[in-house]
Amino acid sequence: MFRTKTLIIMTALMVSFLIPTVVFAESGAVTFGAAVVTNDQAVNDSLVVSMSGVTPPAEGSAYNAVLVSSDGTKSLDLGELSVTQPVIQGIIQATGTINFVYDSTSEGYDGEDLLVNYSRIKLTIGPGGSTAYSDNVPVNAAVYINSVMADINSIDAHLAAAIASAFSAQSSSDIDEIKAQIGAAVADASAISGLADGLGANATAAAAEDAEDSNLAEGAAGVIASAANISSWVNAAKATADDDIASQTSAAVASIFASKIFNELLAARNGWDGNTDGTISSSTGEGGVAQARASAQQMATLTLEAKDLEGSEVSTVPGAADGDGDGSSGGSDSVLGLGLPSVGERIIRDLMLLSCLLGIAMVGVGSVILSRNRT
């Protein structure tokens, strides 16, 4: 009996060591850098790739960057990426860095919104070659991020018109003109505030798609904080218009309040350096539309690892046709279109491995106990 109990305990300890091994295999991947969407001539029309520790491809070949839609039906060839190998004490190092920018100066640029159309990237060895590095934003997260970005763009358009009207009002010396322009400036205040208030739900939903992704979490927090600021500044502008300008008879006094409204609307769009440190962050009291957009772009950060792309996906978000915004619906690895995990997901692989190990351990323990009882 003593020997049987000892064997069971030893087997249990062995299994307990195997479990963190599987977890480590999932979380211990080496990150070589990131690809982040930015703005150049339009919104989300540029991509910056920064990597280090990259092994150069064989002589005569080069890495090629390709963006791919979530369902795999659309791609954009960004061109070649060169690896810069540092020289230390006269010795060329085995690995190097990549600093690549795709923008309006790049071949093939057409100003398209990269976030709307693509959520995956791969660095291949030559055009059409094998994939050396890649990453993807989970398809549902990409849908939520695009919803966030669409609302931010809508807020920006509303604010552009509002700021123009407020500027005209503060420059006028006619009380009726001031009131008319201020009325136009705050006419969409409720719509702007409503859009801002709704940003948090989509940002939170996107972050929930991958709880371990710090870029999703930090970006979502920035969107939420900036959205609250936008709503607060716009509502303050509306209150000033209603309380201090609507019944005002002095153009000089009304102009002062119009300038206050102009500044509040400007802060809602561009942010405000509340702590006067020279930067405007996506934080409470500082972030506006510009910072909310940057935070949404951070949420879509592609973290490059030495791996091939996982199977293509189709969104399971209600009302969403796919994750890239182009309305296509092909290329799914989900089962029966029910939103079940695709066959390429790592968690399924690791669960299968863990189940196999546990099964082997249990068979071994059972065999020992059976053998022991027979003797």
pLDDT tier at 270 (50, 70, 90 boundaries)?
very high
pLDDT at 329 over 50: no
What does the pLDDT read at residue 347? 45
pLDDT at 24 over 70: no
Averaged pLDDT for residues 104-118: 95
Strands (E), the chain: 31-38, 46-54, 63-68, 75-81, 87-88, 91-92, 96-102, 120-125, 131-136, 302-305
pLDDT at 375 over 70: no
Distance CA 124, CA 134 (A): 9
pLDDT at 126 over 80: yes
pLDDT at 27 over 90: no
pLDDT tier at 251 (50, 70, 90 boundaries)?
very high
Task: State the pTM of this model.
Answer: 0.78
Averaged pLDDT for residues 45-62: 95
pLDDT at 318 over 90: no
pLDDT at 16 over 70: no
pLDDT at 92 over 50: yes
317 or 354: whose pLDDT is higher? 317
Distance CA 286, CA 268 (A): 9
355 or 236: whose pLDDT is higher? 236
Average predicted confidence (pLDDT) for the chain: 85
19 or 160: whose pLDDT is higher? 160
Q: Are 86 and 54 in contact (CB under 8 A)?
A: no
What does the pLDDT read at residue 162? 98
Residue tagged 């400007």 (tokens): 266
Averaged pLDDT for residues 228-256: 97
pLDDT tier at 320 (50, 70, 90 boundaries)?
low
pLDDT at 80 over 80: yes
pLDDT at 11 over 60: no
Closest CA to 299 of 155, 148, 150, 152: 148
Looking at the DSSP bridge assignments, the partners of residue 305 are 31, 134
Distance CA 81, CA 99 (A): 8
Using alpha carbons, list the distances in angstroms from residue 107 to 36, 69, 110, 225: 19, 20, 9, 37
Residue 286: φ, ψ to 5°: -125, -55
What does the pLDDT read at residue 310? 84
What does the pLDDT read at residue 323? 41
Closest CA to 185 of 234, 151, 251, 250: 234
What does the pLDDT read at residue 327? 38
What does the pLDDT read at residue 372? 56
What does the pLDDT read at residue 311? 83
Distance CA 257, CA 236 (A): 11
CATH topology of domain 31-137+303-313+317-349: Immunoglobulin-like (2.60.40)
pLDDT > 90: percent of the chain: 73
pLDDT tier at 358 (50, 70, 90 boundaries)?
low
pLDDT tier at 312 (50, 70, 90 boundaries)?
confident
What does the pLDDT read at residue 68? 96
Residue count of the chain, please give it: 375
pLDDT at 357 over 90: no
What does the pLDDT read at residue 355? 57
Distance CA 243, CA 226 (A): 26
What does the pLDDT read at residue 19? 46
Distance CA 230, CA 108 (A): 36
Tokens of 39: 């703005």
pLDDT at 33 over 60: yes
**pLDDT tens column, 139-191:** 999 999 999 999 999 999 999 999 999 999 999 999 999 999 999 999 999 99
